[in-house]
Amino acid sequence: MDREPCIVGVADFPLHERGRAAEGNSELTIQKYCAEQALNQAGLKFSDIDGLAVAGMWGMPGPGMMQPNVLVEYLGIKSPKWLEGTNIGGSTFLLHVNHAYQAIKAGLCDTVLILYGSLQKSNASRVLGDRPALYSNQFEVVSGLPLPVGGYALAAQRHMNTYGSSRETLAEIAVSTRAWASMNENAAFQTPLTIEEVLASKPIATPLHRSDCCLVTDGGGAVVLTTNEKAKDLNTKPIYIRGYGESNSHSSINYMPNMDHLEIAKNSSKRAFNMADLNTNDIDLTMLYDSFTITVLLTLEAIGFCKLGEGKDFLQNQRTAPGGDFALNTNGGGLSYCHPGMYGIFTIIESARQLWGLCGKRQLDNPINALCHGTGGVLSSSTTLILSKESN
């Protein structure tokens, strides 16, 4: 197929001391470093870039409200033809891949750089109560709902009530994810975790406890896409975007249609599978945004890896841990690897590395198809990508 868009380079930012960037960095140096690494991996230069997508929470109010302008200037990109700065939460970067796919396919640009950077840990900018009581959020902010965790807690409580899932169900996810992180030397937490430790961790917003929650770290990432024609001359084998889908439903958790199932993930993944002409049995690696353990449970069920309410059986006995029969979040996820605030880009980075066979100790046996899923806001937005070594 002509102008088939593909991923040719990825990078993440090295972290130390449980998720901290080295001193002397800014959100911009983090993104420049990741861009250079991803371009080097592919064998491309900044002068090859003619499309840019970026999202983040830095520099607001101020220049960060127009991040594509800041990055084009900072990186010295000469004549971009296509720009994307949509922000729908942590699911955003999968949407950027989707939109870059369409732009490249349509001939609007050839080579797109997708960027993310954050210093939220170093800047201590992450707090539970900083949100203004604005618009539909005003009611929950006045009630003292810590955000976003309180929103996810309401969904978790509802799911448990409807389907009989339990804290043990959620703990399976935290434990298997940590086991994968123990094989990622860039992960903030690599010491194995037990179900008992998860259950005994301190309550945050019931039924969610500390070990059900993502980390607060610095971090960043980059993804480079180009056409299959250009990819022929590059260092990496192209990774194709076989399917994608996106959807959203609300801003305040109170307006999530049914808190016990993630309708938008069902919709976005269905579109991705239809486009790819694949089904859940064809997926070798599943990378789901794990902002909280409940996010993973809801997403697994919504995508259809198991039926609604059957996640509690699906996840039993560490099925999703290394050596289990369902490879899930092999980088250690937002729960144990890193979570700089908008984690979605790392689902793409890990998928590409697994498909390229670059994952060392945690490398899967010749995966062909990877599914990435992003969740943003308070279960507000869903984005799905199906990445593959094979083109459509």
Contact set with other proteins (CB under 8 A): 127-130, 132-136, 138-147, 149-150, 153-155, 157-158, 161, 202-208, 249-250, 252-255, 257, 259
| CB-CB contact of 56 with 74 (8 Å) | no
Helix axes of 149-163 and 293-303: crossing angle, nearest 10 degrees: 50
Residue 159 CB, nearest approach to other proteins (Å) = 9
Minimum CB–partner distance for residue 196 and other proteins (Å): 19
> Of 60 and 358, which CB lies nearer to other proteins in the complex structure?
60
Pairing between β-strand 5-12 and β-strand 219-227 as defined by DSSP bridges: antiparallel
**CA–CA separation, 316 vs 168, rounded Å?**
9
Minimum CB distance to other proteins, residue 8 (Å): 40
Q: Which is nearer to other proteins, 207 or 221 (CB)?
A: 207
Tell me the closest approach of the beta carbon of residue 101 to other proteins, in angstroms: 29
Identify the bridge partners of residue 84 per DSSP, sorted by sequence position.
Answer: 53
Residue 348 near residue 97 (C-beta atoms within 8 A): yes
Cβ closest to other proteins, residue 47 vs residue 255? 255
Which helix (H) or strand (E) is 52 found in, with range?
strand 51-54
**What gap in Å lies between CA 110 and CA 230, rounded to an integer?**
8
Those residues whose C-beta lies under 8 Å from the C-beta of residue 359, and which sit 6 or more positions away, are 330, 350, 353
Nearest Cα to Cα of residue 95 among 251, 241, 284, 216: 241
Q: Which is nearer to other proteins, 84 or 140 (CB)?
A: 140
Q: Which of 285, 236, 240, 234 is nearest to 391 (CA)?
A: 240
Give whichever of 22 and 128 is closer to other proteins, judged by the CB atom.
128
Q: What distance in Å separates the CA atoms of residue 50 and residue 111, rounded to the nearest whole number?
A: 6
Q: In the block, which residue shows the tokens 């002509």? A: 2
Q: What are phi and psi of 70, to 5 degrees?
A: -65, -45
Smallest distance, Å, CB 378 to other proteins?
11
Q: Taking the complex as a whole, how short is the minimal distance between the CB of residue 260 and other proteins, in angstroms?
A: 9
- Closer of 133 and 358 to other proteins (Cβ): 133
- Residue 386 is inside which H or E element, if any? strand 381-388
Output the smallest distance, CB 56 to other proteins, in A: 23
Which residue is listed with tokens 């970067």? 93
Nearer to other proteins, 146 or 324 (CB): 146
In 3D space, the residue among 19, 14, 376 whose CA is nearest the CA of residue 188 turns out to be: 19
Q: Considering the complex, what minimum distance in angstroms separates the CB of residue 327 from other proteins?
A: 32
Cβ nearer to other proteins, comparing 24 with 129: 129
CA dist., res. 38 & res. 71, Å (int): 16
Residue 207, preceding peptide bond in cis (omega within 30° of 0): yes
Question: Least Å distance between CB 372 and other proteins?
Answer: 27
First-to-last alpha carbon distance for the chain, in angstroms, is 8
The answer to whether 220 and 117 have CB atoms below 8 angstroms apart is: yes
* Nearest to other proteins of 150, 332 (CB atom): 150
For residue 20, the minimal CB distance to other proteins (Å) is: 22
Nearer to other proteins, 205 or 231 (CB): 205
